[in-house]
Structure 1
């Protein structure tokens, strides 16, 4: 997962709350960092996404493949 895919996934899942969750929610799985702090520290976006999903109780079926764009048609 790329950073852009992470940001799309967070926006799609959390809507108006997305930016505050990224900057304010402490993620226990990431040593007490917020998602923004973890991104700055170089933590892979996929790891951050999964930790955010755990903290926010996102159902398993909405965690995988989130943030990906559909392949281009030729």
Structure 2
């Protein structure tokens, strides 16, 4: 997340942006609910134009 969004924005985005692939949850909510970091990152990659090097 930090490599894609930057140090400051990554935390804000993870806390505030709701993702449909995560069932309408934020990154932080999904992680708190026990989703694996790998699955959460895949969801982020579905909604953001993440560099192939970071996928």
Q: What's the TM-score, normalizing by structure 1? A: 0.65
* CA distance, structure 2, for counterparts of residue 50 and residue 31 of structure 1: 13
Q: 2:3 aligns with which of 8, 12, 20?
A: 12
- Specify the alignment match of 1:33 in structure 2: 25
Greater gyration radius? 1
- Specify the alignment match of 1:69 in structure 2: none
Residues 42-69 of structure 1: CA deviation (Å, up to 9, x unaligned):
0010000111122122133321xxxxxx
Offset of residue 17 of structure 1: 1.1
For structure 2, which runs of at least 5 residues remain unmatched after alignment? none
Q: Which has the higher helix share?
A: 2
Aligned residues: 54
For structure 1, which runs of at least 5 residues remain unmatched after alignment? 1-9, 64-74
Q: What's the TM-score, normalizing by structure 2? A: 0.84
User: What RMSD in Å do the two structures reach over aligned CA positions?
Assistant: 1.2
